[in-house]
Amino acid sequence: MELVRWQYRNPYHDRTKDPTRLFVFGPHTLTISQRPTQTIDLYHNTGYLVWDGAYLLSQYIFNHLALAGKTCVELGAGSALVSIVAWLKQGNVVATDLQEYQEFARRNIAANGAQVGVRELVWGEPLQQELAGCADVVFGSEILYLEAQHDALLRTLRALMKEHARAYLVYKDRGLGEHKFHERAQNAGFRLRELPLDSEFDSEPYHLLVLSFVSK
């Protein structure tokens, strides 16, 4: 019997409503819990679902990045899918988010046998000493939708990243001011490049930005 190839999208079923989702990256199958019964809006409970951008960034990491020996920090980790995939690529990974998502991330990490640290991080506030200037690579998916948080996010990126670090950010242009991040990042001393994403999402306004320092 021919096996059916796993696909992320299913036109007949909305997987954001599932309490558990499976994700396949090469030989690895990950099980990620969600809390779809929570009331979710722009300001509440966004970390309890796996958004498309998290899958897109995870796919890019798995297919294109070599992370062995590198310290990786995920911002707005939520379910921690991106952090777990970075760990699969042999990164030394810390998943960060608000306090309310800490235990949720830890459960997904443990369920997949990953060795990923979990830390609270509020953008714009002073970093814990262990995080300051630690990151070779920073990841963030779907974290640009609150324009009012852009400056705080940029301060956190600057404080986290080593001199030659890279930050990979995936976002969807939802008309909430996401594009204004570009100019703010350049004004804050970052160089930006945009890289292509999986063709499955060609018809949708998803973007992958890579940030590095012009100088620090």
pLDDT confidence band for 11 (50 / 70 / 90)? low
Residue type, 211: L
- Is the pLDDT reported for residue 3 higher than 60? no
DSSP letter for each residue of the chain: -PPPPP-S--TT--GGG-SEEEEEETTEEEEEE--TTS--BTTBSGGGS--HHHHHHHHHHHHH---TT-EEEEES-TT-HHHHHHHHTT-EEEEEE-GGGHHHHHHHHHHTT---EEEE--TTSPPPTTTTT-EEEEEEES--S-GGGHHHHHHHHHHHEEEEEEEEEEEE--SSSTTHHHHHHHHTTEEEEEE---GGGTTS-EEEEEEEES--
Tens digits of residue pLDDT in 73-91: 999 999 999 999 999 999 9
Tell me what percent of the residues of the chain surpass a pLDDT of 90.
Answer: 79
